[in-house]
Amino acid sequence: MGIALPGAFVAKLIYPERKCLAICGDGGFMMNSQELETAVRTGVPFVTLIFNDEAYGLIEWKQMNSFGRPAHIDFTNPDFVKYAEAFGAKGYRVEASDELIPILNDAFSQKVPSVIDCPVNYAENLRLTNELGQLTCPI
């Protein structure tokens, strides 16, 4: 957790001719989001796509599967568009699913790092886990 943004930064340093995309949750993004300043200052453009559920969604999924209830996984986020812009990066917010591809294309065309805030609902994860669990037999 927290490696996506610095990992994409380093990948772009190693392969400057390639497009680099960091994909992370909002909790993981906030763990190393200060590296946006380094990327802006050094002129290294890459794109960060944040799956925003205002929680540690994967941890909640695991807690629900293991214990039947979540514990201490919710938090609040800053406005990620304004946050990115405060560092001198480009910020985007996805309002509808059909906006994602055009936003990604625009973000990859920027000369500065870009941050895309994409709201998600992980409610289907638990239903999928339950359904898949019924398809398999326990060992």
pLDDT tens figures, 8-51: 999 999 999 999 999 999 999 999 999 999 999 999 999 999 99
For the chain, domains (ranges, CATH) are 4-135 (3.40.50.970)
- Backbone angle region of 101, left / alpha / beta, with phi > 0 → left and psi within -120 to 50 → alpha: alpha
44-87 pLDDT per residue, tens: 999 999 999 998 888 888 898 889 899 999 899 999 999 999 99
Token couple for 86: 């405060």
Residue among 40, 47, 51, 106 nearest 60 (CA): 51
Count of alpha carbons within 13 Å of 82, Cβ hemisphere only? 3
Question: What residues contact residue 47 under an 8 Å CB cut-off, 6+ apart?
Answer: 8, 19, 20, 21, 22, 104, 107, 108, 113, 114, 115, 116
